Amino acid sequence: MRKKISIEPAKRVKDLPPYLFATIDKMKEKAVAKGVDLIELSIGDPDIPTPRHIVERMRKAVKNPKHHQYPSYVGMLSFRQAVADWYRRRFGVTLDPKTEVLSLIGSKEGIGHMPLAFINPGDYVLIPSPGYPVYPVATLFAEGRSHVMPLLEKNDYLPELGKIPRSVLAKAKLMFINYPNNPTAACAGRAFFRDVVHFAAKHNIIVCHDAAYTEMYYDDDRPMSFLQIPGAKEVGIEFHSLSKTYNMTGWRIGFAVGNKKAVAGLGKIKTNLDSGIFQAIQEAGIEALATKDSELKKIRAIYRKRRDALHSGLTQLGLEVNKPGATFYLWAKCPKGYTSMKFTALLLNRAGVLTTPGNGFGAAGEGYVRFALTVPVKRIDEAVRRIGKIL
């Protein structure tokens, strides 16, 4: 008989934080097995299909044999040009498509690879909590150290840069920020971004702004790009995604823009690990970026109705919940006596409503749950009705 080898995960895998959603997953499975009519408000994945013109462009592009070969690593120049055109139209920011734009297999991919490109073992990465779990995990994979910047309600969910210890700053190399924010739905203005540029320049830190939600807004006052701030391109890079804006989460396409050296460094990791995005998808991406605002307005109107329904519904039930100016999330305080997990379990087991416990986004998210606006108004009304019965 052959001897069995021992298959041991690497330390970086063993060091992954415990999967907080395991309990919830089990409860969800149980509920589904019992035949509960579950209202799923936990995942940040649009339920609305990708606009037709984008799907049509893909349909045509997929038939073209030239797209069947390896794509260019850095992305088709036509896609990067479309990104630069979009940035100029939308933000008034000029980008060189050859050196300041990099296509990504979804922005998660770029965010995940960023620490690998710039972090040496022991370097610090400044990370918001609550926040997108990829920031700390990617830091761990690159053998960096996370320094948590708590996002607190009393500070409008902006990090207090002045509170970061000197000893951390001396070894800090990257900083992640994300506005409009997932999960708190907070927005940041010019003043905050200015502070960040100044701070980064002073302490020699590369800013990574995750801008996945700039197009998911409700007011006339549209979210900004970090790169609109003078000097931002000297210190940072911005990650963008077609996923949420154009209902394209399954397509896997995004991009990074900004500082040339940051873009090149990230590109270097990518050329050694992946071979780019299927070109037919890049063609669809070009089409997406040219989507008429009238089309996007319709999508925003759908989310606005949902937001208003859930916000007023939960508020009337006495829950303390924000009315987001952007993103498709509502960040609700748990009632007295409930932790995030306990409240999530209550909503799931007694109302058949699935939300995300706030502590799943980091310790500073404890005491909150996140609702995603990913079901039609009728289902939102039903969720509110059911929650009303148990509160």
Ligand X SMILES: *Cc1c(COP(=O)(O)O)cnc(C)c1O
Tell me which residues touch ligand X (CB under 6 A): 44, 106-108, 132, 178, 182, 210, 212, 241, 243-244, 249, 254
β-sheet bridge partners, residue 254: 104, 241
β-sheet bridge partners, residue 149: 128
Nearer to ligand X (CB atom), residue 299 or residue 346: 299
Other Cβ atoms within 10 Å of 165 Cβ, number: 10
Q: What angle do CA 261, 142, 75 make, to 5 degrees?
A: 45
Nearer to ligand X (CB atom), residue 42 or residue 178: 178
Nearer to ligand X (CB atom), residue 100 or residue 238: 238
> How far apart are CB 348 and ligand X at their closest, in Å?
22
Are residues 76 and 223 in contact, defined by beta-carbon separation less than 8 angstroms?
no
Nearer to ligand X (CB atom), residue 254 or residue 360: 254
> How far apart are CB 239 and ligand X at their closest, in Å?
7
> How far apart are CB 8 and ligand X at their closest, in Å?
30
Q: How far apart are CA 188 and CA 335, in angstroms?
A: 27
Contacts of 300 (CB under 8 A, 6+ apart): 216, 217, 218
Closest CA to 318 of 328, 304, 332: 332
Rg (CA), the chain: 21
Nearer to ligand X (CB atom), residue 147 or residue 244: 244
Cα–Cα distance list, 10 to 140, 144, 226 (Å): 12, 16, 36
Q: Which two tokens stand for residue 117?
A: 């490109």
> How far apart are CB 288 and ligand X at their closest, in Å?
12
Nearer to ligand X (CB atom), residue 103 or residue 346: 103
Nearer to ligand X (CB atom), residue 141 or residue 313: 141
Nearer to ligand X (CB atom), residue 184 or residue 346: 184
> How far apart are CB 186 and ligand X at their closest, in Å?
12
Q: How far apart are CA 195 and CA 203, in angstroms?
A: 12
What are the residue ranges of helices labelled H in the chain? 11-14, 22-33, 52-62, 77-91, 107-118, 134-141, 166-170, 190-203, 232-235, 260-273, 279-289, 293-316, 340-351, 377-390
> How far apart are CB 131 and ligand X at their closest, in Å?
8
Q: Which two tokens stand for residue 24?
A: 């919830």
> How far apart are CB 232 and ligand X at their closest, in Å?
19
Tell me the CA end-to-end span of the chain in Å, nearest whole number: 62
> How far apart are CB 135 and ligand X at their closest, in Å?
9
Helix axes 377-390, 340-351, angle to 10 degrees: 100
> How far apart are CB 111 and ligand X at their closest, in Å?
6
Q: How far apart are CA 118 and CA 226, in angstroms?
A: 20
How many residues are listed for the chain in this entry? 391
| Structure-derived torsion over alpha carbons of residues 57, 61, 63, 66, reported in degrees to the nearest 10 | 170
> How far apart are CB 264 and ligand X at their closest, in Å?
21
Nearer to ligand X (CB atom), residue 351 or residue 356: 356
Nearer to ligand X (CB atom), residue 57 or residue 113: 113
